Amino acid sequence: MNCWGVIPAAGIGSRLGAAVPKQYLEIAGRTLLEHSLRALFADARVKGVAVALRAGDERAAALACLQDPRVLRVEGGAERADSVAAGLAALGERAAEDDWVLVHDAARPCLDAKSLGALIDAVAAGGSGAILAQPVSDTVKRSDDGNTVAATVDRRSLWLAQTPQLFRLGELTRALAGAGAVTDEASAMEAAGHPVGLVPGPRTNFKVTTADDLLLARCLLAAGENS
């Protein structure tokens, strides 16, 4: 199974309110981007990763992990989909259309090797793309005004999408080109009519978006380093 990766890392992480883009915040001696990149390379089936960076990004030059010959640095875009498309285009010079591509968030540093392996194994066995996702376990409320409960939503069919999301290079490239604004790659594949499988992912594979997330990631990664 020929497998590659794309990490969109051109954002500025404005919601976190940090002094630097969140992918460059350090936890346990490494930036979030380094942790996320290392997580993909933990599986030997990943042959290379395209990292999409903001134009003029000077911090990237200081990261030793980006000097790895398996890493392809490309210029990202204003939106996530633009950065992913740039990464896919760069991989197209090395990979075949029917090769598989893992798209993973730069700010999702706690991906474990077991979950990554389970995703790749599931896709290899089933032959169609899939994503890591977490079944919703809490009671879900819907609010129409942001202040009061309008209804309780049936959670039995609800999942929280995670990354990596794993699809064929050619199919994903075409799906993103015709999808417009999407928040993840699975949405583009769904719109293009492709089946998208669900592989259960752990709660620890969360995206760092808020200060609380950063604190939790620091605890988890520090514990992992100590162990």
Q: Tens-of-pLDDT digits for all 227 residues of the chain?
A: 899 999 999 987 666 767 788 999 999 899 999 999 999 999 999 999 999 999 999 999 889 999 999 999 999 998 999 999 999 999 999 999 999 999 999 999 999 999 999 999 999 999 999 999 999 999 999 999 999 999 999 999 999 999 999 999 999 999 999 997 899 999 999 999 999 999 999 999 999 999 999 999 999 998 876 55
Distances (CA, A) of 135 to 33, 96, 221: 26, 33, 23
CB 61 within 8 A of CB 55: no
Query: Looking at residue 193, what is its pLDDT?
Result: 97
Write the DSSP assignment of 159-209 as a string of letters. Answer: EEEEEEEEEEHHHHHHHHHTT-S-SSHHHHHHHTT---EEEE--TTS----
| Amino acid 224: pLDDT | 73
- One-letter amino acid for residue 71 of the chain: V
Around Cβ 174, how many Cβ atoms within 10 Å?
17
Q: Identify the CATH assignment for 3-226 out of 3.90.550.10, 3.30.70.940, 2.60.120.1440, 2.60.40.10.
A: 3.90.550.10
**Domain-by-domain residue ranges, the chain?**
3-226
